[in-house]
Chains A and B, each alone.
Chain A
Amino acid sequence: MSAEPQQLLAPDGTLHGDLPLPLGEISRLYRAMVVARVFDGKCSAMQRQGRLATYAPYEGQEAAQIGAASALEASDWLVASYRDAAAMALRGYPWSNLILGRTGDERGGHAPEGVRVLPPSITVGGHMIHAVGIAWAERLKGTDAVALTMFGDGATSEGDFHEAMNFAAVFATPTVFFCQNNGWAISLPTSRQTAAETIADKAVGYGMTGLVVDGNDVLAVHEAVRRAVSTARAGEGPTLIEALTYRIGPHTTTDDPGRYRDPAEVESWRERDPLRRVRRFLETQGAWDEDAQAAAEHDAGLEAEAAVAAAEMVAALDGDEIFSAMYAVPTIHLEEQRARLRRDGR
């Protein structure tokens, strides 16, 4: 049943079909992709310097994340995972929070009021159902807000994927399931996660619409998600979108992809770089040039430096504070333990 992945921008930057967004908006998305790539590189470098805990790079997945996140409204929710910083940032989750979290600080998970983005899920797959519950609550409250959840190909092997898809379809919750099939779940290829031809095919079993999109094409992703969001908002139920993309880097800074995959495969995906095709397209439209690129990279660098500085300025939680966010008000037991730590230390 699978069709060719939906595509608007070919890898060489040729546009097929109608322009889904004004050029200015496409430039904005491209600039966000540049920023995301600069941050990703910065975070990998910081991890090597021992300034971040384990880091999960998303290089190669910028189009998928920015394309999807850009199709949401401010009142919509994003429930994403640890590799989705580019999407979270676009929804207003500050880069300084994202970096703070990766330095090993719970306060990175505190999004500003009004930013409807949950802290990234670290366990695989358990968060998809949260986007079902959130969307369901919004409908019960009578709003038209939608929840989009992002997850990888590996997460679709979890039983929680099934329960989330099934609940969403049965109750027609305004949820969008956005799978970034990046080819690898740590060391295992997608073929070891599913025998289905595509992950999108799984939607059929739930009575849901499923579709495959070129995940390295920011315009196609944006368009596919925009439609799914609009369907959800109209009360017509959830959609599963499989964005075909590739994890250029390791799963996290702790593993060596050379042990499990062919470098030639990585190179072939570099040829399909998600940034390059947008840039080419914008250049052919006269909407981008070398100067714009240099300025975007320069600004992104400054933004990254500022976010890192803001994150690294935050003093570590003191002993008292580790007890202070377990409950609205600490229990007498926690108060007793807090006093013990204060008195005796560790």
Chain B
Amino acid sequence: MADLTVARALTDALDIALADPAVVLLGEDVGATGGVFRVSDGLREAHGPDRVIDTPVAESGIVGAAFGMAVAGMRPIAEIQFMGFSYPALDQVINHVGRVRNRSRHRFTAPLVIRIPYGAGIGAAEHHSESAEAIYTHIPGLKVVVPSTPHDAKGLLLAAVADDDPVIFLEPIRLYRAVRAEVPEGPFTVPIGAARLVVGGEDVTVVAYGAMVREAEAAAAELAASGTSVEVIDLRSLVPWDVEAVVESVRRTGRAVIVHEAPRTTGFGAEIVATIQEHALYSLRAPIERVTGWDTVVPLRRAEHHYVPTRAAIAAAVVRAMEG
């Protein structure tokens, strides 16, 4: 076991993945500087500049080239610096990455990983704080995963690299160095599509992912002191997501609170709410609460605190659900 931050757990995973000659890492500044978040620190030295590739500033080119490499039998990992910079590559993602398996009926596939740091909470510059996961979850043919712990960051990244389909790998920016935890050494995977039970509880189910998991966990701890037993589920994967784990939990608790920092309207929470009511409507004892960002641009540093859901907001939603 090693005591690692999320960032270092990702470095460890990349280092292990790069042992396979089919794997390359490419993106802007991933080599010499180790990436803007230093996730690939030291990897160019370890694996060489042909395998840890500093590219021109061109997101569509990065993803399109990675797609070509994948079609030719490699397992490239493309890094986009921030989610707000990933949009130029959407044509590649939608029209090619997500489609090639179907349009060639399995003859050609795109087993690539696109790593995208995302989310608010560190007062970053404009376009550096987006949570646009719902854009990606709406694109057929992709998988979308979001780790929230060092352990899952490593295990999910190795699972993403091993996956035979394209995976959008979202890295919560504010968690990169916020937590340290024991992470097994050597290769291991966390299955894509399986949620993680963060804390068990009986009264309310809180479903979260990414940076919101810690907030939900903190809210649950506070509420436990006042006698409310909150179950927290970390989805870990958005496509496919673990319907069974969520529905089973809500059937027990009868109450649900969904948390994400992305905008509210057509956010991924809406999908979760819709699915819960399909499967567990008659178990519900209160309306399902959503704690989300607003349908606004993420405010800049000085006003960001008005936007990002807090543990207090989650606790308040749980209380409403209990009263519901």
Contacts and interface: CB of A to CB of B under 8 A. Distances in A.
Interface of A: 77, 79, 106-107, 109-111, 113, 118-119, 123, 126-127, 129-138, 140-141, 147, 159-160, 163-164, 166-167, 170-171, 325-328, 331-333
Given A140-B51, A163-B56, 20 more contacts: A106-B104, A106-B105, A110-B106, A126-B92, A129-B64, A130-B65, A133-B72, A133-B76, A134-B72, A136-B65, A137-B68, A140-B74, A147-B68, A167-B65, A170-B56, A325-B105, A327-B141, A327-B165, A328-B165, A333-B243
B65 A111 contact: no
- Among A106, A111, A136, A171, the one with the most B-chain Cβ atoms within 10 Å of its Cβ is A136
Interface in B61-76: 61, 64-74, 76
27 contacts: A109-B104, A109-B105, A111-B104, A118-B100, A118-B104, A126-B91, A129-B61, A130-B68, A133-B68, A133-B71, A136-B65, A140-B51, A140-B74, A141-B73, A160-B91, A163-B56, A167-B56, A167-B58, A167-B65, A326-B102, A326-B140, A326-B141, A328-B101, A328-B164, A331-B143, A332-B240, A333-B241
B101 A326 contact: yes
B60 interface: yes
B276 interface: no
Interface string B167-182: 0000000000000000
A118 B71 contact: yes
B55 interface: yes
Contacts of B92: 126, 129
A136 B66 CA distance: 9
Interface of B: 21, 24, 50-51, 53, 55-56, 58, 60-61, 64-74, 76, 91-92, 95-96, 100-109, 140-141, 143, 164-165, 193, 239-241, 243
Interface centre among B69, B91, B143, B239 (most CB of A within 10 A): B69
A111 B107 contact: yes
A119 B68 contact: no
B240 A167 contact: no
A106 B53 CA distance: 34
A133 B74 CA distance: 10
A327 B101 contact: yes
A110 B103 CA distance: 8
B68 A131 contact: yes
A53 B24 CA distance: 40
Contact of B193 (A109, A119, A132, A332): A332
B141 A129 contact: no
Contacts of A137: 68-69, 72-74
